[in-house]
Chains A and B, each alone.
Chain A
Amino acid sequence: MKKFISKIYLALIIILLYAPILTLVVLSFNSSKTRAKWGGITGKWYVSLFHDDGIMNALYTTLVIALLSAVIATVIGTAAAIGISAYRQRTKSIFMGVTNIPMLNADIVTGISLMLLFIAFKFTLGFKTILLAHITFNIPYVILSVAPKLKQTNKSTYEAALDLGASPIYAFFKVVFPDILPGVISGFFLAITMSLDDFIITHFTKGPGVDTLSTKIYSEVRKGIKPEMYALSTIMFLTVFILLILINTNPKENKKTEHIINSKARKVSKLIMHRLIPATMVVVIIIGGFVYSKTNKTVDSKKQLIVYNWGEYIDPKVLTMFEKETGINVVYEEFETNEIMYPKISSGAISYDVVCPSDYMIQRMIKNNLLSKIDFDKVPNIKHIGSQYMKQSRQFDPTNEYSVPYCWGTVGILYNKKMVKEKVDSWNILWNKKYKDNILMQDSVRDSFAVALKSLGYSLNSADLDELNAAKNKLIKQKPLVQAYVIDQVRDKMIGNEAALGVIYSGEAIYTQKENPNLEYVIPKEGSNVWIDSWVIPKNAKHKENAEKFINFLCRPDIALLNFEYITYSTPNVDAAKLIKDPDIRNSKTAFPDPKDLDRCETFKYLGTKYDRIYNELWREVKSK
């Protein structure tokens, strides 16, 4: 009976642990691109996975960092454990105290403290800094697995070996090392596991152009995870799972079966431990290296272009076409928000050649003298950009000298016609108690305040403390009704019928309508935000001419059309808009709203550091209520 209960208990815990894993495995076979909808079984993600350079590079970086950091940490850690054991008790405990710090310290503190160190000592953040950080947090795991084994070893055998004339090194490897080997191996595997699983420390110590799977996934959380990621995790998980089962089932049978099988089984498991695993590792590194070197050909640095763009904000085909046509090698980096992008540019740590910020951020960058003027003789395709968009750009780039519009859109309400029966034309519906727990708001200061300010009839660039406080109070009043504050997850949640109403960017709305025809987008009558994301060239760009070629390329109508179809954000390229085949989209009010709707909309303006801080503080008050 007791055995039975404990079996059930074990089974329950295993179910708890593996339910999410199973969910991910199932998702990897989902043919619909969004997590929120089941579209039937498919294996296509397992194929397209291997064609996705971004994911393959991240996989390679992750594996190399995990293996290298584990090997180095194992060597340093094992040596340290042996060394520490020779010290007196007091010194020993000081050592162990220090060793405990990275394990007990919050990941966020470790990550930040290492980042501060790297910046202070002028390390360029990148592959090396991630590696250093991972070694740092891996060493303690090795020490803590080796130290107990060391304590169990019999000191006299070692001394005996010495007395019999063995050199200390020989004696160590023949006598002590076999005893502590299990500890060393488990330390090594723990180190690999921790390194693979780490996100927060990598997040803070990584530099541009380097991504591990974790950081790649994090940047995708907002846009919706690519299904290929599920497929990759499934492959990785199953590989390890099968390997471990192979290793573990063999010795288990040993006791019961005959001696011959016993030795055979041991041989097999030995073969796996000593040959197969190292061999797979070597193969992984070599194959990975091959893929990696293929994508990272060392090129003439003149033939290079470093692009810094929003996540999922260009058709990958366009980049390959550009590389083919011009012979310029593109290094492509993504950011999640304007606020994350800005310090990277202003610190000058990395010289990007071409960046795609939003309106108010461009104004701030011009003001702080971070941008250089674009030579429009080199960008003749600017003629395809509608004059109304150039005019609108003057709100943040008064002379039209610094920026070329790339995408634009509005912010509005997306609602589910099945759940909302009344007419939706005002922001105030987001304060209607009927929709409690069915409302999604934007998790960003300016966007949320814009909704509240506009609903109160104020400007969304308000710098009036009374108005701002009124907006804050209105947002606090709304909070109990809000289901969640999200960024791009609005997309998945609205498609999956998780909420009735959501504040969303018009470009995302077009995508959601394709997936769920019950969704409708509206720009409220009080007015809203109209925004433009434009290409700019930072002052410290090293390849300005290439950047101009790139901008010119993107302004070509056929290219702009490709991008529009991929990212579904409205294009300012009027000649591209004419080429759109699907009349529903060409005439869509969501993609290309009526001018009278736009008249009520404003562009965000940069309000200065002081007001930035005030907005941030008021927002924190809302969030913590």
Chain B
Amino acid sequence: MTNKHSLKKLLAGPYLVWAVAFIIIPLIMIMYYGLTTEKGHFTFANIATITTPDNLKALGLALLLSIISTLICLILAYPLGMILSNSNINSSSFMIILFILPMWMNFLLRTIAWQSLLEKNGVINSVLSLLHLPRFEMINTPGAIIVGMVYNFLPFMILPLYNVLSKIDKDVINAARDLGANGFQTFHRIILPLSVPGIISGITMVFVPSLTTFVISDILGGSKILLIGNVIDQEFVQSSNWHVGSGLSLILMIFILISMAMIAKYDKEGEGSAF
């Protein structure tokens, strides 16, 4: 028994090496850069740059926009997950594939396509003016950035929700009904609590990439709206200041740690994992 198990354990060896080399060590490098000056002295100054009004504003705005997009994703995806989990297996797995499929069109092209859709003389406004409806101006506003975030990250919310919802035993729901619970009560007392792992996992999978994006805000925000991701990108690429860039990345890492803690707390069994 023990022998067999240790043999099995060996299989995790290559991954262990890989994880140390390409996940742990790079993280340590970011910490090193973030906590030193250009001359290699220890400092907190890089991290402290987050307290400048500009950077705080960029972080605050990024938090606000990503929270809004996460909520919209949740509201859109939850009914979808319920619908899919109630339809038969074959058609629902086909639908799931339909939701992943757009990812095969390149991420940047998809975002640029939104630019074509939302522009002043873009597709949507042309259609609206054909129908003699009032035009709407969204491009280069925070609203357009939210559209881009919701669009790009919605599949990451749908998948984990669908996963937990389809695992809920139909007998449990029927039992609740038999015991006199109405639709709302069944949802509130049975379905919702059972789907918490999926909700948490979906929230983190949407929230983190939205918080850190810089491409979406560049393309759909007209570079007028600076998010924390843009600040970090500029530190690395434009000003070549790796130390400040790493310091700011460490701040982002805090949000990732919080997310991981949430997952560990609410999703111990990994049920809500997206895939």
Residues of A at the B interface (CB closer than 8 Å) are 6, 9-10, 13-14, 16-21, 23-24, 27, 35, 76-77, 79-80, 82-87, 93, 95-110, 112-114, 116-117, 120, 132-133, 135-136, 139, 141, 143-145, 147-148, 162, 168, 186-187, 190, 193, 196-200, 204, 213-214, 217-218, 221, 225, 229-230, 233, 236-237, 240-241, 244, 248, 251-252, 255, 337, 339-340, 342-343, 437, 443, 445, 479, 482-486, 493, 496-498, 612-613, 616, 620-621, 623-624
Contacting residue for B209 out of A35, A106, A120, A143, CB 8 A: A106
Give the residues in chain B near A482, CB-CB below 8 Å.
222, 224
Q: Report how far A213 CA is from B105 CA in the complex, Å.
A: 11
B12 within 8 A of A: yes
Q: Report how far A106 CA is from B91 CA in the complex, Å.
A: 33
Task: Let me know if A144 and B119 touch, CB within 8 A.
Answer: no
B275 within 8 A of A: yes
Q: Report how far A496 CA is from B224 CA in the complex, Å.
A: 20
Q: Report how far A616 CA is from B26 CA in the complex, Å.
A: 28
Task: Let me know if A21 and B102 touch, CB within 8 A.
Answer: yes
Task: Let me know if A496 and B119 touch, CB within 8 A.
Answer: yes
Task: Let me know if B12 and A101 touch, CB within 8 A.
Answer: no
Contacting residue for A221 out of B94, B108, B222, B232, CB 8 A: B108
Contacting residue for B97 out of A82, A85, A96, A244, CB 8 A: A244
Query: Which of B109-117, B172-180, B184-192 lies at the binding interface?
Result: B109-117
Q: Report how far A141 CA is from B273 CA in the complex, Å.
A: 10
Give the residues in chain A near B98, CB-CB below 8 Å.
14, 17
Task: Let me know if B275 and A141 touch, CB within 8 A.
Answer: yes
Give the residues in chain B near A145, CB-CB below 8 Å.
275
Contacting residue for B223 out of A102, A147, A484, CB 8 A: A484
B154 within 8 A of A: yes
Contacting residue for A106 out of B54, B140, B215, B252, CB 8 A: B252
Q: Report how far A86 CA is from B108 CA in the complex, Å.
A: 41
Q: Report how far A306 CA is from B76 CA in the complex, Å.
A: 51
Task: Let me know if B101 and A104 touch, CB within 8 A.
Answer: no
Task: Let me know if B270 and A233 touch, CB within 8 A.
Answer: no
Q: Which of B41-77 contact A (CB under 8 A)?
A: 53-55, 57-58, 76
Task: Let me know if B11 and A79 touch, CB within 8 A.
Answer: yes
Q: Report how far A419 CA is from B113 CA in the complex, Å.
A: 26
Residues of B at the A interface (CB closer than 8 Å) are 4-16, 18-19, 22-27, 29-30, 33, 53-55, 57-58, 76, 79-80, 83, 90-91, 93-95, 97-110, 112-114, 116-117, 119-121, 123, 137, 139-140, 151, 154, 204-205, 208-209, 211-212, 214-215, 219, 222-224, 226, 229, 231-234, 236-240, 242, 245-246, 249, 252-253, 256, 259-260, 263-264, 270-271, 273-275
- Closest CB in chain B relative to A623 CB, distance in Å: 5
Q: Report how far A145 CA is from B101 CA in the complex, Å.
A: 18
CB within 8 Å for A144 and B15 given contacts A100-B260, A108-B212, A485-B223: no
Task: Let me know if A104 and B270 touch, CB within 8 A.
Answer: no
Residue among A87, A237, A340 with max Cβ neighbours from chain B (10 Å)? A237
Q: Report how far A424 CA is from B174 CA in the complex, Å.
A: 74
Contacting residue for A486 out of B57, B112, B222, B236, CB 8 A: B222
Contacting residue for B256 out of A95, A106, A337, A479, CB 8 A: A106
Task: Let me know if A80 and B11 touch, CB within 8 A.
Answer: yes
Give the residues in chain B near A96, CB-CB below 8 Å.
270
Task: Let me know if A483 and B204 touch, CB within 8 A.
Answer: no
Apart from the given pairs A162-B4, A255-B90, 14 other A-B contacts in the complex at a CB distance below 8 Å: A10-B83, A21-B113, A101-B27, A106-B256, A113-B30, A116-B33, A193-B100, A221-B108, A248-B97, A484-B222, A485-B223, A620-B234, A621-B54, A623-B226
